[in-house]
Amino acid sequence: MATSTRPVTSLDFDALKADIIAFIKTNPTFSDYAFEGSALNAIADILAYNAHNNAYYANMLHSEGFLDTAQKRASVVSRAKELGYTPKSVTGATAYVDINIANSGSSQIILSRGTAFTSSNDSGSYTFLAAADYSATPVAGSTTYSASIPGVKLVNGVYLSNYFRVDTTANLRSLFTIPNKNVDISTLRVFVADSDSSLEKVEYKKVDNLFESLPTSLSYFIQESYDGYFQIYFGENVLGKQPVNDNIIYVDYFAVSDIGSANECRLFGFDGVIGGTSSLVTINTTQVSFGGSDKEDINSIRTNAKKSNSAKNRSVTASDYELILTEQFPFIKAASVWGGEDNQPPIYGKIFASIQPVAGYTLSDSVKQNRIMPELRKMSMMTITPVIVDPSYLGLELVTTLKFNPSKTVNSLSVVEGAVLSTIADYVSNISKFNTDLLHSNLVSSVISVDPGIVSASIEKSVSFRIAPLLNIATTHTKYLNNSVKSGSVKSTKFNFFHDSASREVSIREISGDFTTSISSNGTVNIIQRLGLFSDAGELLVDIGFVNLGTGYFEFSFGLYSYLTTNRFIQINATLDVQDLSTTRNQILTLNSTLEDSIIGLVSNNQIKSELYIK
């Protein structure tokens, strides 16, 4: 007798058991059989349990076979491997320093790879190692020799090494596993010797481009294994020279023990000797430590593996450049890339890249020019010139007004206010990245949901940017806020300006009534408001430029006489005439500095005003 049953791939145990019992009842012998408490009921339980386990196993097996649905790291890594993608390893925090040596003696100076330096931050003390061998030729002075080693790369970690004997009988696939999961593969070096008694070792380089690989190339490949270790292998005399039996493979590398903790180290010390024993070593930091991070997570692997496969080691589109930056440099948190035709103003023949580091706000010029630019040029099309620009941070200052009904909550007003401040800070932290907007309704909803005692909330938003002009040099400054500015809201912190043979304490403000109106080709109304330097008494000293209130574009020029405090910047604030704040190109929204300084006009960036609402 035919019957309809559920497919055996169902994952619900009770549904499977009901189907089994329904099928058994199709036999006339069991049509009126009481299954509850019977021996046949136990058999139905066993059958349903077995079918449930098989269905679950089949479902999981099928899911783990696809990059989008796999849940185990080993499965995601395996699928990414098929697309030619190697997940990022643990990365040690990296710093760059210049080393100057006085009383060095006349002999050639060698700073060996692995030489240890020390530094510290708020989290503790850390060891940094020289990433390569550096040399310097001393220069004779009036009484002694001195030398300098610029651009020394220091990486946080410990220096380790291993060796492997090639034995194709015991290791049929010739995969050599590095026995440390915290290896920073960017520091890995591979050497091959003919035997363990050979004095000569030949270095093999990691393959970057298969199209340049020859059967005789001294190159190796690297992959992550199913258990999270990295393995090296060779080109089998097709894509590179293959080591033969009894060859010895030596590897050395840095392993990271303090993952992500050694960022923001600024001052470096050295207890050893460089040059002669009487040498005096001075270390100048050109880039504070940055980029220390854990290995790539599976969500990132899913995204980057597909992008890497589509890019195929060339840069044509903006997303290709973004992938190269985030894939090649673990210290990059995010990148925004746009063509010269989309720049303000348009500059054709160039592509612009802005980089947000994992730690800190910007990268040093040495990192950009010596590490990142060579990689971008290598992948760029012949007629396109890549340009790196720093992120443009727009500092948010938020004033939140709450209506609070104490009868609707068990929490006090002070507790609620603290929770609101924390919620706002978390919201801004989550949107502090490229091409992410502040949506007013989402922010207000987050605030209202903090506590049932909050009846309503309104948030006034202003943004700020900072300039750091040199003293006594007239400099033109430009800034594009990409949002309309409320008339009369522009005001800067105070500084000193030389006017009429005297130093005057001034700030930048709008010149009331001094504006022009125009309509652009797309119908946008532009209100060009003049800016000036004003004394505390409100006296206009000089016209310095303008702000386009419709677009938030600033352009002004003046010469700074001196700063009022140790803060070596001038901050310019403006209240926006929009609810939602949009970003473009290299702009990133962030909470402004929490510094409060009444002397120059800085205020808290995240303020709460509360009103009791009792009804």
Domain membership flag for residue 410: yes
Q: Where are the alpha helices (DSSP H) in 329-412?
A: 365-367, 373-379
pLDDT score, position 593: 63
The pair of structure tokens assigned to 56 is 């679950």
Q: What's the chain's Rg over C-alpha atoms? A: 32
Asked whether residue 423 falls in the same domain as residue 454, the answer is yes
Domain membership flag for residue 615: yes
Asked whether residue 498 falls in the same domain as residue 537, the answer is yes
Could you tell me the CATH number of the domain that includes residue 325?
A: 3.30.300.200
- Structurally, the chain folds into a number of domains equal to 5
Asked whether residue 426 falls in the same domain as residue 515, the answer is yes
Asked whether residue 21 falls in the same domain as residue 145, the answer is no
Quickly count: other Cβ atoms within 10 Å of residue 287's Cβ. 23
Render pLDDT for 442-481 as a digit per residue (tens, 0 to 9). 999 999 999 999 989 998 888 889 888 888 888 899 998 8
Asked whether residue 19 falls in the same domain as residue 129, the answer is no
Quick check: 76 and 298 in contact, CB under 8 A? yes
Domain membership flag for residue 84: no
Render pLDDT for 50-94 as a digit per residue (tens, 0 to 9). 887 777 777 777 777 788 788 888 888 888 888 888 888 898 988
pLDDT score, position 382: 65
Asked whether residue 431 falls in the same domain as residue 407, the answer is yes
Asked whether residue 317 falls in the same domain as residue 424, the answer is no
**Alpha carbon distance 134, 280 (integer Å):** 18
Asked whether residue 383 falls in the same domain as residue 412, the answer is no
Q: Where are the beta strands (DSSP E) in 327-435?
A: 332-339, 350-357, 385-389, 392-404
Domain membership flag for residue 6: no
**Domain span at 35:** 13-63
pLDDT score, position 8: 55
Render pLDDT for 421-438 as a digit per residue (tens, 0 to 9). 889 989 988 888 888 899
**Alpha carbon distance 135, 133 (integer Å):** 7
**Alpha carbon distance 324, 308 (integer Å):** 8
Domain membership flag for residue 222: yes
pLDDT score, position 31: 73
pLDDT score, position 312: 61
Domain membership flag for residue 296: no
Quick check: 510 and 531 in contact, CB under 8 A? yes
Quick one: three-class SS letters along 570-589? EEEEEEECCCCECCCCCEEE
pTM of the model: 0.63
Q: Which residue, of 210, 230, 255, is where some domain finishes?
A: 255
**Exposure on the CB side of residue 468, measured as CA atoms within 13 A:** 5
Quick check: 99 and 149 in contact, CB under 8 A? yes
Asked whether residue 521 falls in the same domain as residue 590, the answer is yes
Asked whether residue 188 falls in the same domain as residue 284, the answer is no
pLDDT score, position 1: 43
Render pLDDT for 294-324 as a digit per residue (tens, 0 to 9). 888 888 888 877 777 665 666 667 777 787 7
Domain membership flag for residue 4: no
Domain membership flag for residue 553: yes
Residues of the chain with pLDDT below 70 are 1-10, 37, 209, 211, 277-278, 309-316, 359, 382, 521-524, 593-597, 603
Asked whether residue 43 falls in the same domain as residue 175, the answer is no
Nearest to 188 by CA among 213, 235, 155: 155
What is the b/e burial string over 310-341, where b = at least 16 CB atoms within 10 angstroms of the residue's CB? Answer: ebeeebeebebbbbbbbbbbbbbbbbbbbbbe
Asked whether residue 539 falls in the same domain as residue 427, the answer is yes
